[in-house]
């Protein structure tokens, strides 16, 4: 083997090593089960983030609050029982869901605010006044975001959690510099583990209200479903985010043409009289609609860290699975977005 061939072999081997290392890093940071997606913290100084999952992917929209689940002594602890109280384990899971949504949203914000971190004054807290330059205004916004939201929610280490505390301005300045020097870069690096390649496949869960009058002629209910998914990220928390329906397939363009007021589509849900009456007796006045979507970060330019972070979504397939419970255990029926009956 000549020198040129040896060099090529070494380069090839190093390239393979880098690819394997990248894959390992990704899997080392993120793990998943049928119930949870976990973003492992970079160290014990930060919290791990647990997102509720469905079929191994992120579950957005309406979450399972565990309030209708039976006690753990039941042979099927995932079987919903209306009116049942929550045991300590279920309360713990519910808290994990709520904090996970907030912390995931914070990590997403950090990822897409990273380009503005060059404006951050890392030595001094920026004092608000009417004569700030654009760079100083950006710094003030980013500092408030880091001090009031990121550090209290994502940090466990006291040196970082204390960033917004201090008996006087000198102590607050020291606490701020400690956070910047010891925590900020780690958090920014960790944020790159979300939305790999600026996209994410997930399931979205929404409710279908069937509390109105039954249509005896058509045998079913008229329901509406919002195509504007503003419940993926916490509203007005963790930095503003917008999720806009962006059609990709022909049937999605047809859906866009059927939008009613409020960015919803009104369609007919077939249901026989016996089932409808049973739902009335059992107090089931809402159903849970599940669809698989693809979220993508918009390529729309952002001029300021205060601007909303824009995302687009489209449907991975046309199936809409409908369940009678928020735990998504009792399947009712499957509808297709391609052949819905719309209200005139």
pLDDT in tens, 222-280: 999 999 888 999 866 677 899 999 999 999 999 999 887 768 899 999 999 999 999 99
What global pTM score does this model have? 0.84
> For 210-222, how does the pLDDT look when each residue is reduced to its tens digit (9 = 90+)?
988 899 999 999 9
Strand, helix or coil for residue 292? strand
pLDDT in tens, 29-85: 466 567 899 999 999 999 999 999 999 999 999 999 988 654 443 434 444 444 456
The sign of the dihedral angle between the CA atoms of 179, 180, 181, 182 is positive
Contacts of residue 141, Cβ cutoff 8 Å, sequence gap at least 6: 305, 306
pLDDT digits (tens, 9 = 90+) for 76-129: 444 444 445 678 888 888 899 999 999 999 999 999 999 999 999 999 999 888
CA separation (Å) from 228 to 41, 265, 311? 32, 10, 11
pLDDT in tens, 300-343: 778 899 999 999 999 999 999 999 999 999 999 999 999 999 98
How far apart, in whole angstroms, are the C-alpha atoms of residue 267 and residue 25? 45
pLDDT tens digits along 156-165? 998 888 888 8
* Residue 15 in this model has a pLDDT that exceeds 70: no
Among candidate residues 131, 68, 64, the one with its CA nearest the CA of residue 96: 64
The first and second tokens of residue 264, run together, are: 């919803």
């Amino acid at each position: 083997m000549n020198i040129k061939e040896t060099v090529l072999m070494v380069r090839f081997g190093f390239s393979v090593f880098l690819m394997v290392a990248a894959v390992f890093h990704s899997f080392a940071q993120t793990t998943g089960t049928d119930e949870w997606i976990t973003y492992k913290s970079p160290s014990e100084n930060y919290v791990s983030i647990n997102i509720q999952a469905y079929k191994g992917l992120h579950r957005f929209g309406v979450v399972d609050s565990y309030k209708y689940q039976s006690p753990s002594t039941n042979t099927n602890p995932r079987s919903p029982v209306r009116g049942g109280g929550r045991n300590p384990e279920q309360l713990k899971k519910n808290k994990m869901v709520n904090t996970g949504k907030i912390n995931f949203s914070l990590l997403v914000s950090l990822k897409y605010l990273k380009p503005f971190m060059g404006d951050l004054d890392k030595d001094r807290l920026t004092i608000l006044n009417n004569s700030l330059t654009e760079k100083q205004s950006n710094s003030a916004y980013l500092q408030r975001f880091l001090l009031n939201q990121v550090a209290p929610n994502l940090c466990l280490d006291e040196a970082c959690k204390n960033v917004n505390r201090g008996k006087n301005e000198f102590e607050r300045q020291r606490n701020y510099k400690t956070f910047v020097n010891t925590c900020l870069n780690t958090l920014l690096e960790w944020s790159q583990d979300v939305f790999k390649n600026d996209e994410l496949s997930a399931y979205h869960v929404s409710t279908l209200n069937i509390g109105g009058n039954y249509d005896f002629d058509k045998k079913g209910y008229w329901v509406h479903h919002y195509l504007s998914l503003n419940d993926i990220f916490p509203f007005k928390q963790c930095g503003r985010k917008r999720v806009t329906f962006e059609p990709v397939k022909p049937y999605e363009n047809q859906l866009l043409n059927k939008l009613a007021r409020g960015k919803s589509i009104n369609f007919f849900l077939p249901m026989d009289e016996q089932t409808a009456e049973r739902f009335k007796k059992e107090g089931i006045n809402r159903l849970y609609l599940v669809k698989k979507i693809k979220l993508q970060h918009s390529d729309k330019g952002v001029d300021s860290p205060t601007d909303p972070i824009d995302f687009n979504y489209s449907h991975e397939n046309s199936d809409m699975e409908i369940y009678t419970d928020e735990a998504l255990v009792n399947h009712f029926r499957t509808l297709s977005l391609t052949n819905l009956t719309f209200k005139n």
